[in-house]
Structure 1
Amino acid sequence: MFRARLGVRTRILAIALVPSSTLLVVGVGAAAYLVAEGNKAQEWASQNRQVIPSTRQFLEAVQEERQLTLTALGGDESLALTLGPARQRLDIAFKGLMSGTNGVREVDDSKIGSTANNFIAVVAQLTQVRTAADTGQLPAADAYAFFNRLLDAITSGSKVIAATAPNAELGLRFATGLRLFLVDEAFSRSSALASMIIASPGPPPIPMEEFWRQTGFYHTEVTTLASSLGTEQHRSLQALMAGPAWQRITTMENALAHRNTATPTPNANHLVTQSGWPALPLTTTEWQAAATEVNRGLIASWLAQNEEAQTLAEAEAADATTKSAWAGGGVIAVSLLAFAIAILLANRIIRRLERLRGETLALADERLPDMMRRLNAGEIIDPDAESPDLDYGHDEIGQVANAFQHAHGAAVAGAVNEARTREGVKAVFLNIAHRSQVVVHRQLEILDKAEERQEDPALLNTLFELDHLATRERRNAENLIILAGGRPGRQWRNPVPLIDVVRSAVGETLDYTRVRVARLPETQLLGAVVADLIHLLAELVDNATSFSPPQSRVEVTGKVVGKGVVTEISDQGMGVPSAKMARINELLRQPPDFGLVALSADARLGLFVVARLAARHHISIRLAESDYGGVRVIVLIPSALLAQENVHTPPPLGAAENGSGALTALPPSHTVDPDPLPRAW
């Protein structure tokens, strides 16, 4: 039901626009998503780059407090005054880092959410760790592990950034930055362990293996990593490794490793520690200065690599955003172009279909009815000339047009053949009718002669009955002429009184003795309509006597009205159902084609003949219910058929009355039929 309400335009547009709309929605959605993701990536890189300074401050503060805390736990109590300011710097750096990472988390918290939460949980233990360290209740290994966990957050964050990089190049740069950070963290851990080892009067609280592992890692990693850095950073790292600070640190680390493997010699001729260990090549101040210089150099290399990667990530994100926007614009443009093409093609198809519909409707509503009218008028029609030229190409619409053209041609050919057949049937009707008229006319002439010579009343009555039957036979012949579209041969030149016309019509009926003609107005009818009106009234009176009881009477009355003269024929029969009466009135008002009447299951040729005669002279006939339950036929003869003089005119020469008082002889004045005319009854 829903599909039936859709027009062709809607269906064509739906076929074309639904895929285009889907493409548009998907394309725009994908482009919008990519643009949003590109903007998010750009903002993410920008926020990460902005948090680099606070990250550096936090990194340096943690490394400093870690080194001072391990040194103090190792036995050096002179760092109490230095440890307080270091802790304050760490607290300030932590607040700055958290403030800086808020922007990163607002952009996308899914990448660092768990890492940040773990980091905050670890920092929350910082106060307890400091209190335990000050009271001597915190083992050095636990302090070392705690501060390492603080900086593991930077390691985890760097791993997340490297893993979620948009391309391999950025991933490699972030991975290189992470390696630089691990190199610096390993150096810082080794420096913190070295400070604790130096301050310890005996074996260090943390095994020397950790010191050796951290020292070996950053030495090996920095040598490997230097070759994978950019030119500027590679030069800076090489300069740091070739510098005196790096050399001092290396010498100090070798001395610490050698001292922890040697036996204490308190009486040797060189510097020794309070515990008897050999003196180190650098003083604590010199070593710390060198360590600070190397640590800052490593941090600078890591930050430079990280900032370069973040800048490149911003550029990549901006480029991806631009490309996504262009791709979205391209999808929109393609979709709009598809829309325009679909609408254009749909409109072209619709215009062709509308033009085809207009031409086919013109064929069905105008040209074909006009051709039928011309055929009914007797014109000769050439089917080829009437065939339309529906040229719509060779596609499906053109094929439909050709089908319409063939159908119209077949209809025209069929109509022409039917018209020829009907003309042939009419010719047969006319021929039979004329032959019958000749026979009946000769029969009536013989009967007239016999009636003139006969004086026996019984035989004369028989001759009158034969005369009456011959008159009815003549009416049947005239029915054939009317059905064939011709005109009866009987015609009158002068006006005839209405009473004479009615009596003549009654005389042509079978049961004329049952008909009672009341007083009629003294009105005369034009001679040209007398024959047709006699025939019309005779059919109606005959119909009234046929459908009423044999003992009942049929009354014929008349009166003058504003539009002419009304003649009413009333019977006392069973009547006609209202639906059937309505159909009969419609037939009398507008007679159909005779072919339809002949094919009808309820065909009454008499009513059709009456309808044809009434339509010929614009006489109005209507059936209604009579006062006795039967049928009353109202015949309105228009004023145009009445003679101007209402003076009673005697019947034409040869008129006579039969025993019932009906007019039985009205000789014709002239005829269009070449055969002799019978008398009028």
Structure 2
Amino acid sequence: MRRLLRRPTASSSPDNVQRRSSLRTSLLLLVLVPFLALLAIWLPNASDAYNDAMDLNDAAGIAEDAGLTTYELMGQLQEERRLSGAWLSEGTADARTALEEQRGRTDAAVDSFRAASEEALNSSNSRVVEDTRTVLDDLAEMSAQRALIDERSSESGPAAAAYVNRVIDHQIHLFQELTNLDSAPEVAEGGRSMVALFRATELLSREDAVISSGRIDARVHQEFIENVGVRRHLHAIEIEPMLTGGEREAFAAITGSPEWQAIEATEDAVLARGISGDRATPLPSEADEWRDAIATVGPQLADLNRDRLASLVRTGDDGVQSTLLSTALLTALGLVAVVISVLLSLRISRSLMNRLDTLRRATVELAEERLPDVVSRLRRGEQVDVEAATAELPTSTDELGRVAAAFNSAQHTAVETAVQLARLRDGTTGVFVNIAHRMQALLHRQLSMLDEAQRRHEDPAYLAELYAVDHLTTRMRRNTESLAVLGGVLPRRRWRRPVPVVDVLRSAVAETEHYARVNVGDASTARLAGPAVGDTIHLIAELVENATVFSPADTRVTVNAETIPHGVVIEIEDRGLGMPREAYDAANALLASPPEFDLLALDDDPRIGLFVVSRLAARHGINVTLRRSAYGGTRAIVLLPPSLLESNAQAPAGAGAGRPAAPAEPQPQHSHAEPVLTGVGAGAPGGGAVATGPESAPVPGPRLARRRRERGTMAAVHVLPGADGEADGSARHDRGNGDHQEGSRRSMDHRDTGSVGPRHRAERREAERDRADAPPAVPPAAPPGIDPEELPRRVRQRSLAAGLREDPPVGSSAGGKDAGAGGRAEGGQGDEPTVDRSPDRARSSMAAFQQQSRRARDARLPEPPTRDE
């Protein structure tokens, strides 16, 4: 059902795509994508605008430099062409001198043009580069053309005129390309008007060259007619409309002057003269006024062209500055827009992240601080106000505000659920504890009834059954105490006085089901403090139980204890299959830090043994570690800290009392050797007797009856109490003196199988011989009315050490049959006189008793009971 109710994960749903980036990255992408888009739009436009501005600046610079030099060269070539025609027609020295001087000025203009053309050749405008190279190529032919003129042949005049006309036409075309800027419409418009002025001036210069020659033929006459028509058209159609106010006034002053009228009169006279054939004819008389008129009008037109060119340059500079300014402004505005968009996006994203971070901090605070604090307070039994334990987040109407409102509702529900679960857990724990206490009371009563039944009956078979039920009851009591431990309450078995560690181990082993498979090996001589005895017995019993249950039935489980500088270490080792490394790690983590017990914490594993061990170990500071043993099984290492131990020097003075001497002669060896038995609390069948002999087995029948009669003085049995102190009140009420005395009594009536090797038996016999050779001890006084010569009888607490005996209740019969001897042994006082008994006499009596008992037992020894019995 849990698997069916499990929420689907992202990997289980193909439609649910896991987000591989954080929310901060997503918000950054939301900012970055518009920023990159805006940047992709702004950068090319800004770059294009900047490039256009730079191109315009370069073009304006080239137009200014190359345009001015082109105009100067154009004027010098026009003047050289006129003087060349005059020298060819007149041939005078003055004409030659004037021509040579003009050639020098022309060469200087050519050099200036060539210097300025370097920038034009590097221009990005291919047409400008091409026209510049054409003009430079034309100028390279100037020397040859001048040589032809110097020959004064019939071809010299037309050839020289054609050359100069071609060069000037190419220069005008170059100037047109220089000023034809798409990014500066004003410059392009002004450039077209300048080209019209240059052409008109060139046509007028060609007319001047014809008039200056003094003669004209039909071909030249036809060219003259074309030049006059084109010039007049340019003046009327292209030049005047394009001139500004001041330029238009200057041009009107030139065209309205008498000199201009004389020029037009000469043109009309030449146009009116009819010329045919190749024979040159003289010019009309109006041509005499041409020279004076052109000398006045020519400089005026040149000044107009220069002013117009300067205005065009200023327009270009203004256009360049305006373009650069607009480009810079556009770039700055674009950059500001980009920065503003980025800052605004970052501010919005940061605001979202801050609000989300507030939600995150509130969630972490709820999960790591407030909820644990609420749970801790509930565990301490405090009342928790749900409203006070929840901190409301500010809400709003947007999406994050609704998320905050949902979080407020969620944390309120979480705290309220924690309170309800704590109450439910407390109720469940209370039920556990109540059931445990009730079961403990019933079990104590059952153990008391079993004890009474054991004292009343002598039949060995019946006693064997009683001891089997007694053992099951003891195990049930331990399981009941486990419930109480999980409920967080202290067990009811408590000791006031220290107990030897070996007795603690044997009592713990006796509380397990398969105690017959457990070998208690070397044990420490340390003594465990009384308050820790019960929990330590329970802890060791749980570990031994696990070792026997999870190992094959034909294997042994060994328990050893050793005193070390850090306390006493107890090792419990089985020969089972062990566990994986992950299971060891999980178990050690559980043992090191006991969690809060919960029914859901068990998951699919209902075993609670490690929970109980962890709780008990944490209560007393005991360190428990599980690891793989050398046999492949599991080794449990229990470290008892020094704070739980008491030195042997602090043992009660009467701890060794009540131990009769062993027989002097060696005991005969039988198939079922007598083990050494101990008992602290409840033991094996009969209360915690743990066998330490390998050949031993539970022996019912006459042996049980014999041990019942020998309970007080049996030399081969070493019995320690089940408790040094008193148990809880209910236990004493149910069982008289509690479980401690009954554990010692039952330990004498039934022994567990174990393993004791030859070394142990040899040591035991040597110890018995030492005790036999020791000085005579003062024998205990015989109870009143009993003959010292008769066999010893069972007396309550007689088998206990003096320091472990409980004081009889006030008003009890101190001289009774069961308590009188014990009271005299512990207190050394009594109403009856002390009967002296020699050690030799007592040893001989006990030896005879043991020999006769063995003979009777060997004669009618029944089969040992099975494990189920």
Partner of 1:525: 528
Secondary structure of the 2:319 match is helix
- 1:117 maps to a residue whose letter is R
Q: Could you tell me which of 228, 231, 241 is aligned with 1:215? A: 228
Residue 280 in 1 paired to residue 294 in 2? no
- Mapped partners of 1:587, 1:127: distance in 2: 112
Partner of 1:484: 487
Q: CA deviation at 1:626?
A: 5.5
Q: CA deviation at 1:142?
A: 4.8
CA 551–9 in structure 1, closer or farther in 2 if over 3 Å, else same: closer
> Would you say the 8 A contact 2:120–2:132 is kept in 1?
no
Partner of 1:249: 263
- Mapped partners of 1:157, 1:673: distance in 2: 128
Deviations 1:158-212 (A, max 9, x none): 422453265544443332222222222222222323345x325xxx152533212
The residue correspondences of 1:363-512 to structure 2 (distance < 5 A) are 363-391=366-394, 393-512=396-515
**Tell me, which stretches of 5 or more residues in structure 1 are unaligned?**
264-273
CA 663–479 in structure 1, closer or farther in 2 if over 3 Å, else same: farther
- 1:91 maps to a residue whose letter is D
Partner of 1:646: 651
- Mapped partners of 1:5, 1:155: distance in 2: 69
Q: CA deviation at 1:84?
A: 4.3
> Would you say the 8 A contact 1:658–1:664 is kept in 2?
no
- 1:251 maps to a residue whose letter is A
Secondary structure of the 2:494 match is coil
CA 9–279 in structure 1, closer or farther in 2 if over 3 Å, else same: closer
- 2:224 maps to a residue whose letter is F
CA 543–187 in structure 1, closer or farther in 2 if over 3 Å, else same: closer
CA 71–609 in structure 1, closer or farther in 2 if over 3 Å, else same: same
Deviations 1:66-101 (A, max 9, x none): 33455677x655556654444444333322333344
Q: CA deviation at 1:117?
A: 1.0
Residue 613 in 1 paired to residue 622 in 2? no
Deviations 1:95-136 (A, max 9, x none): 233334445556766462111111122222333334444363
Partner of 1:91: 107
Secondary structure of the 2:285 match is coil
Q: Could you tell me which of 180, 192, 195 is aligned with 1:163? A: 180
Partner of 1:233: 247
Partner of 1:267: none
Residue 59 in 1 paired to residue 62 in 2? no
Q: Could you tell me which of 192, 201, 223 is aligned with 2:209? A: 192
Q: Could you tell me which of 507, 528, 534 is aligned with 2:537? A: 534
Secondary structure of the 1:594 match is coil
> Would you say the 8 A contact 1:490–1:668 is kept in 2?
no
The residue correspondences of 1:218-367 to structure 2 (distance < 5 A) are 218-224=231-237, 225-226=239-240, 228-260=242-274, 280-282=284-286, 284=288, 286-367=289-370
Secondary structure of the 2:219 match is coil
- 2:211 maps to a residue whose letter is A
CA 62–672 in structure 1, closer or farther in 2 if over 3 Å, else same: farther
Relative to structure 2, which stretch is displaced further, 82-91 or 315-324?
Answer: 82-91
CA 99–623 in structure 1, closer or farther in 2 if over 3 Å, else same: closer
> Would you say the 8 A contact 1:624–1:633 is kept in 2?
yes
- Mapped partners of 1:91, 1:563: distance in 2: 117
Could you state the TM-score of these two structures normalised by the residue count of structure 1?
A: 0.83
Residue 147 in 1 paired to residue 151 in 2? no
CA 482–232 in structure 1, closer or farther in 2 if over 3 Å, else same: closer
CA 293–6 in structure 1, closer or farther in 2 if over 3 Å, else same: farther
- Mapped partners of 1:384, 1:219: distance in 2: 104
- Mapped partners of 2:398, 2:503: distance in 1: 72
CA 131–402 in structure 1, closer or farther in 2 if over 3 Å, else same: same
- 1:217 maps to a residue whose letter is V
Secondary structure of the 2:637 match is strand
Residue 115 in 1 paired to residue 137 in 2? no
Q: CA deviation at 1:417?
A: 3.3
Partner of 1:561: 564
**Tell me, which stretches of 5 or more residues in structure 2 are unaligned?**
1-17, 658-678, 692-716, 744-869
Partner of 1:172: 189
- Mapped partners of 1:232, 1:294: distance in 2: 18
Partner of 1:266: none
Q: Which has the higher contact order (CA 8 A, sep 6+)?
A: 1
> Would you say the 8 A contact 1:548–1:574 is kept in 2?
yes
- 1:215 maps to a residue whose letter is V
Secondary structure of the 1:621 match is strand
- Mapped partners of 1:30, 1:577: distance in 2: 70
Q: CA deviation at 1:156?
A: 1.0
Secondary structure of the 1:58 match is helix
User: What number of residue pairs does the alignment pair up?
Assistant: 662
Q: Could you tell me which of 136, 140, 143 is aligned with 1:127? A: 143
- Mapped partners of 1:102, 1:543: distance in 2: 104
> Would you say the 8 A contact 1:515–1:554 is kept in 2?
yes
- Mapped partners of 2:644, 2:722: distance in 1: 22
Could you state the TM-score of these two structures normalised by the residue count of structure 2?
A: 0.67
- Mapped partners of 1:151, 1:499: distance in 2: 131
- Mapped partners of 2:77, 2:462: distance in 1: 157
CA 234–247 in structure 1, closer or farther in 2 if over 3 Å, else same: same
Q: CA deviation at 1:617?
A: 1.5
Q: CA deviation at 1:671?
A: 2.2
The residue correspondences of 1:73-88 to structure 2 (distance < 5 A) are 77-78=91-92, 83-88=99-104
- Mapped partners of 2:246, 2:576: distance in 1: 128
- Mapped partners of 1:402, 1:569: distance in 2: 57
Deviations 1:624-662 (A, max 9, x none): 556766544333322322346223637999999787667
Secondary structure of the 1:636 match is strand
Q: CA deviation at 1:152?
A: 0.8
Relative to structure 2, which stretch is displaced further, 529-538 or 13-22?
Answer: 13-22
- 2:284 maps to a residue whose letter is L
CA 493–241 in structure 1, closer or farther in 2 if over 3 Å, else same: closer
Relative to structure 2, which stretch is displaced further, 384-393 or 49-58?
Answer: 49-58
Secondary structure of the 2:563 match is strand
Relative to structure 2, which stretch is displaced further, 648-657 or 170-179?
Answer: 648-657
Secondary structure of the 2:636 match is strand
CA 672–170 in structure 1, closer or farther in 2 if over 3 Å, else same: farther
Deviations 1:191-245 (A, max 9, x none): 323345x325xxx152533212212332343345446533433333333333332
Q: CA deviation at 1:451?
A: 1.8
> Would you say the 8 A contact 2:148–2:160 is kept in 1?
no
CA 611–53 in structure 1, closer or farther in 2 if over 3 Å, else same: closer
Once superposed, what is the RMSD of the aligned Cα atoms?
4.0
- 2:111 maps to a residue whose letter is K
